[in-house]
Structure formats: C-alpha cells, structure tokens
Structure 1
Amino acid sequence: MFAAFDIQDMISAFIVLFAVIDIIGSIPIIIDLREKGREVNAVKATVYSGALMVGFFYAGHLLLSLFRVDIESFAIAGALIIFFMALEMILDVEIFKNTGPIKEATLVPLVFPLLAGAGAFTTLLSLRAEYASVNIMIALVLNMIWVYIVLKLTGKVERFLGKGGIYVIRKFFGIILLAIAVKLFTANITNLITFLQGGL
C-alpha cells in the first residue's frame, strides 16, 4: 500500500482538498448556527464528514449510477444549495428554516453540504484519477484533523473578532461562497451539456 506513497502528491492533494473543504470560510456560518441555538458537535462533524468522503471516494460512481445520477448533475445540485446558503450570509435572510424536531446543525448544513458536499465529492473523484489512493487518504485525514481543530476553536475566534468583525467576515465569505457555487455550477453545467449533446 505504502509503496505508492509520494509526499509531493500527498501535499498536492492536501492543498486541493483544503481549498475545497474551506473550513475557515465556514466559520461565520458555524457561528451563525450557534447563535440561532443550533448545536455543532466538533467530533461528530469531523467523523461524519470524513466517513462520508471516504465512502464516496470508494463508492461514489457506483452509488450515483444506482440512482442514474451523473456526477455533473450531483455537483449542480450541491452548487444550488451552496448558492442559497451564500445568499443567506450576504442578504441577512433565512432560507433554510429548521422547523423539524432536530435542532442540531452538525449533519445539516455543516457536514453536508459545507464540509462533505458536492464540491468535495467531485474533487475526490477527480483526484483519484491523478494520484494513488494512499496519498489522497492521508491528505484527507490531515484535512479532517484541521477541521476538528478549527471547529473546537470557533468560540475563541468569535471572541477575538467580536460582533463587528464576524459581521464583516460573514459578508466577505458569503461572496466567496457565492463565487464557489457559481464556479461549481458553470463548470459542471458545461460538462453536462457536452455529455448530453454527445448522447444525441
């Protein structure tokens, strides 16, 4: 297994996943969820998101094919969810209303779609075509450790920045999140259209 290990490939995979998972950019969302009284469990969020990504890495194509869903359509759906979450941050509106019995925010929206979302899933499948699995898995584990650390320190970050700082960062990362959603949407809608035209 470790015969295929390459530290340069592992670092490359780590950087790509770090940018896509973007736990730093999720800090304003996490703080906002906690202010709304929705609990965020750092251990559960880390374990669940890591497990989802590992599972999708090995069984993603099979799972989507069972439902006859292509990866482009899946990514577009994830992009739309991220788009509306960005609008919440930028416009100070509440689109995703939590009217159900579960008040905890660990699974939705933190684990999915923020951490283990369509962007992370599609990226993992793309990385699999470039690097050995062992390099990607080590990179993923290191990213999950970083996710846990950030989630545990979110309260300290909030106290350090204050209400005003959090408000500004929320707006800024709302725009970043919106840009990611648009990029994910446009990249995959182009691939989907090309695929559909090829099938005609």
Structure 2
Amino acid sequence: MDLQFNFKEIATATMVLFAVIDILGSIPIIIGLRNKVGHIQSEKASIVAAVIMVAFLFVGDEILNLIGIDVNSFAVAGAFIIFFLAIEMILGITLYKDDAPESASVVPIAFPLIAGAGTMTSLLSLRAEYRVENIIIAIIINIIFVYVVLISSKQIEKILGQGGLNVIRKVFGVILLAIAVKLFAANINQLF
C-alpha cells in the first residue's frame, strides 16, 4: 500500500471537519447534557465517534447504495437535522424530547453531535477529492480536539458563565443554520 501524506490535504480536511463537527458551537449542548445526566464519558464518546467516522469513510457509499439512498438525499436529510438543531440553539426551545439518558457518550454526543449526517456527508465529499490516509489523520486531529473540549467542559462553563454560553449558543446556532442552508442548497438540485 502506497501512503502519500500531503500536509495541504490534511490541513484542508481538518478544517472542513472542524467546521462541520463544530465542537466549539456544541459546548452549550455538551454542558446542558452534563448538567442533565451528571457525567459525560469523554473517552468513550471520542473513540466511538472516531470509529464511526473512519468506518463511514470506507463503507459509507456502499451502505447508502445498499439501502438505495444517494449521497445527495443523505445530505438533504442531514441538512434538516442540522437545521432543527440550529433552531433549538437560536430560539432556546427543545424540539427533540427523549428519555433522559443515564450518561452521555455514544448518543447523543458521539452520534449525532460529533459524527452526524453533516460529518458523514463531508467525509464522502472529502473521499472524492483527497487520499484516505490524509482524511484519517484529519479525523484523528479533530477527535483529539473534541476530547479536550469534552474533558474540560466544566472549566469552559466556569470561564464563559451563563451569559457567555447563551451568546455562543446563539452565534453558533446561526452558523449551524447557515451550514444547513448551504448543505440543503448544494444538494437539493441533484434530487430532481
């Protein structure tokens, strides 16, 4: 196997994934979950998210083809999910209600917060343009950053305070809304 590491590809893929994962924008959600369940399993969430992303990088197209879904349909569905998450963040309402989990790790942090539809769609797009080994390094870099944010969420909450969290939540809600609109606009024409 011929590995060709390219710093430019790694840097670009890292930045794309960083923007889509948006762990900084998810800080208010993470803190809210921690306050609700008392404990976030940072290691487990990070490892599971990394495994999901690497697995989807290799078999994502095949899985979608197997169940008869094209990448564009997947991207539009992801846009809707991101849209509703953004609405929750901006308006401070809860659209999705679920039984309170005992701990927050795999659901909802690893999936869909970190390795969600937007991330999966981005991975498939990156796979078309960049070499797999460079994308895997980009995933690892992002997961390390995600882990650091998850493990230090209490300290981040103390530094920012409730007012700071509210501002960040609204700002990143608008950014998330813009990502949802862009994802929707870029893929809806391909469906018709």
**Superposition pairs of residues 89-108 of structure 1, within 5 angstroms:** 89-99=89-99, 102-108=101-107
- 1:112: Cα distance to partner? 2.1
Q: Which residue of 1 aligns with 2:54?
A: 54
Q: Which residue of 1 aligns with 2:118?
A: 119
Task: Provide the rounded CA distance (Å) in 1 between the counterparts of 2:119 and 2:167.
Answer: 26
Q: Which residue of 2 aligns with 1:86?
A: 86
Q: What amino acid sits opposite 1:76 in the alignment? A: V
Task: Provide the rounded CA distance (Å) in 1 between the counterparts of 2:147 and 2:20.
Answer: 16
- 1:58: Cα distance to partner? 0.2
Q: Which residue of 2 aligns with 1:192?
A: 191
- 1:74: Cα distance to partner? 1.2
Task: Provide the rounded CA distance (Å) in 2 between the counterparts of 1:2 and 1:46.
Answer: 28
Query: How high is the TM-score relative to the length of structure 1?
Result: 0.88
Does residue 134 of the first structure (1) align with residue 133 of the second (2)? yes
Task: Provide the rounded CA distance (Å) in 1 between the counterparts of 2:117 and 2:89.
Answer: 20
Change (3 A) 1:2 1:150: farther
Q: What amino acid sits opposite 1:150 in the alignment? A: V
Q: What amino acid sits opposite 1:192 in the alignment? A: L
Contact preservation (8 Å) 1:82, 1:113: no
Task: Provide the rounded CA distance (Å) in 2 between the counterparts of 1:50 and 1:91.
Answer: 31
Q: Which residue of 1 aligns with 2:41?
A: 41
- 1:32: Cα distance to partner? 1.7
Task: Provide the rounded CA distance (Å) in 2 between the counterparts of 1:38 and 1:191.
Answer: 44
Query: How high is the TM-score relative to the length of structure 2?
Result: 0.92
Task: Provide the rounded CA distance (Å) in 1 between the counterparts of 2:38 and 2:74.
Answer: 27
- 1:41: Cα distance to partner? 1.4
Task: Provide the rounded CA distance (Å) in 1 between the counterparts of 2:181 and 2:105.
Answer: 25
Does residue 71 of the first structure (1) align with residue 76 of the second (2)? no
Q: Which residue of 1 aligns with 2:26?
A: 26
- 1:155: Cα distance to partner? 1.0
Greater displacement, 169-178 / 60-69: 169-178
Task: Provide the rounded CA distance (Å) in 2 between the counterparts of 1:62 and 1:2.
Answer: 23
Any stretches of 5+ residues in structure 2 without a counterpart?
none
- 1:68: Cα distance to partner? 0.7
Any stretches of 5+ residues in structure 1 without a counterpart?
194-200
Q: Which residue of 1 aligns with 2:12?
A: 12
State which structure, 1 or 2, has the greater radius of gyration over its C-alpha atoms.
1
